[in-house]
Structure 1
Amino acid sequence: MIGWLHRALRLVVVLALLAAGALALYAFGRSRPGDVPWTPLDLADQPGMFTGRKLAGLRDDAPRCQALLDKAGVRYTALPPRGGDQCGYDDAVRLTGGGALSVGWRPDRPGVACPVAAALAMFEWRVLQPAAQVHLGTSVTAIDHFGSYSCRRLYGRDAGAWSEHATANAIDIAGFRTADGRRITLVNDWAGGTAEEQAFLRAIRDGACRLFATVLSPDYNAAHRDHFHLDQAARGALGGRACR
């Protein structure tokens, strides 16, 4: 009889510990959804260790990606599909401005694959504007870019792997314009700007690494001396990331 009571007591203790653990995991998931793999992606959440995977995982689910943009109040226009043997897209959108996004784009608003657009929205809210306030004491009003879609191989080679640009799954960002009239560019200010401007650019690079599968900066090679390359390569959905 005593042995049975001991076994029952141990079972109760184990069940109580399991329940407490489950409640702790639930609470953690509620407070930091980006840090757990099973919580659904919400563009309004703070980025966590699994946010980049979830964003890259939108590559094969355009309806869900657009639904996330809608839920977050991001205004966009869906672009007509563009086909080709190795190039083209069927999920590209153009961020139209207004709504939940405040930053403009120069020379114009690029068309990008939806997962890139979703990451750019989080980038503005959670990386770009906070970094501008911390390091520059102002906000960013516009982003200068070199474009997104380009039917080409990596580095414009004649052979080898195709660039993520070939499917509008990448964007190259050249600089930023601020509310106090500054224009901060990668080519001039990554190494030659003020300490605050250099810190701002590096904070942006590091923050983008939590949202994009690939982030390449002037620290990577000479080909990126004047821009950030941001993309959502397929490996990002499995946790494969490149941040330089």
Structure 2
Amino acid sequence: MPAPVAGRGWRRRLRREALALLGHAGPLVLVVAAAWHLPLPWNPFMPLDVRQPAGPLDRAKLRRLGDRPAACHAFLESAGQRFEPLPDRAVEAGCGWRDAVRVGGGPGLRWSPVPLTCHSAAALALWQHRVLQPQARAAFGQPVQRLEHFGSYACRDVAGTGRRSGHARARALDVAGVVLADGRRITVSSHWDGPPDAAAFLRALRDGACASVDQVLSPDHNAAHRDHLHLEQGGWRACR
């Protein structure tokens, strides 16, 4: 007779412990279950996808790629970026990089390959798909085939300061202009205050970049940016 009593007690304790565990994990289980029914842009468990409309979690998902090189490379591949991983360059005197890639374009788009942190390259890929090409087609009825730039990595300070630039950590790209499919060239230096269609297009590129890029600086910021758009990932936020 004692054995059955002990057995019933063990079952009761097991049930109590299972219910207690469910009480702690239940909300998480419900969140996970509900997430599978959310639209993809709103689903925190689904990876970032340039083919999906912009969503409120994109910036958080993009930031998460900065700590996950394999996931970041997978994202670049899914976005059709031409890239190759680079070995880390030891940071000395505030210059160098970690988890960088050499990237030279995307679908139907090319530029001179440059080193960028994968996180920065991912933000640039979002800008290409969601801003650059849609704005070019809307304004001119054709895509951009080449991006012109002044480079990315440079071991230097922000002009007029003693503070290292984002370029010193391969986090920034200075976009000088674009070449459309028909060969028309539009540059920040010549068209920021030029013909209305080109000027509006360049400002749309600047404004649209602010959705995924942390620091976007244009000629409206200061004279040092009179001929380019500074696109930098990481650090403080700015859209000027």
Alignment match, 1:104: 110
1:232 aligns with: 233
Letter in 2 for 1:75: R
Distance 2:78 2:56 in 1: 22
Aligned to 1:32: 41
1:127 correspondence with 2:134 = no
Give the distance between the partners of 1:58 and 1:207, measured in 2 at CA. 20
Deviation of the 1:96 alpha carbon: 4.3
Equivalent residue, structure 1, for 2:26: none
Highest CA radius of gyration, 1 or 2?
2
Aligned to 1:204: 205
The 1-side partners of 2:82 and 2:176 are apart by: 23
Q: Shift in Å at residue 216 of structure 1?
A: 0.7
CA spacing shift, 1:70–1:104, aligned 2, 3 Å: closer
Which residue, out of 169, 172, 175, partners 1:173? 175
Structure 1 runs not aligned, ≥5 long: 1-18, 236-240
TM-score (norm 1): 0.77
Match of 2:121 in 1: 117
Higher relative contact order (CA 8 A, sep 6+): 1
Question: Matches of residues 1-244 of structure 1 in structure 2 within 5 Å?
Answer: 27=37, 29-33=38-42, 39-85=46-92, 86-97=94-105, 101-105=107-111, 108-155=112-159, 157=161, 159=162, 161-192=163-194, 194-235=195-236, 241-244=237-240
Secondary structure in structure 1 of the residue aligned to 2:153: coil
* Change over 3 Å in CA distance of 1:134–1:73 after alignment to 2: closer
1:112 alignment partner AA: L
**Partner secondary structure for residue 159 of structure 2:** helix
| Equivalent-residue separation in structure 2 for 1:53 and 1:165 (angstroms) | 23
Distance (Å, rounded) in 2 between the aligned partners of 1:153 and 1:211: 24
Aligned residue type for 1:163 = S
Q: Is the 8 A contact 2:41 2:57 kept in 1?
A: no
| Cα distance in 2, alignment partners of residues 156 and 60 from structure 1 | 31
Write the letter of the residue equivalent to 1:32.
P
CA contact (8 A) 1:74 1:121 kept: yes
User: How far apart, in 1, do the equivalents of 2:234 and 2:160 lie?
Assistant: 18
> How far apart are residue 65 of structure 1 and its match?
0.9
1:43-75: CA deviations, max 9, x gaps?
A: 332223332333233223222211222333433
> Does the 8 Å CA contact 1:77/1:96 hold for their aligned counterparts?
no
Aligned partner of 2:122: which letter?
A
Q: When you count strand as a share of all residues, which structure comes out higher?
A: 2
Unaligned runs of 5+ in 2: 1-29
**Is the CA contact 1:56–1:213 (under 8 Å) kept in the aligned structure 2?**
no
Structure 2 counterpart of 1:12: none
Identity rate, percent: 46
2:51 partner amino acid: A
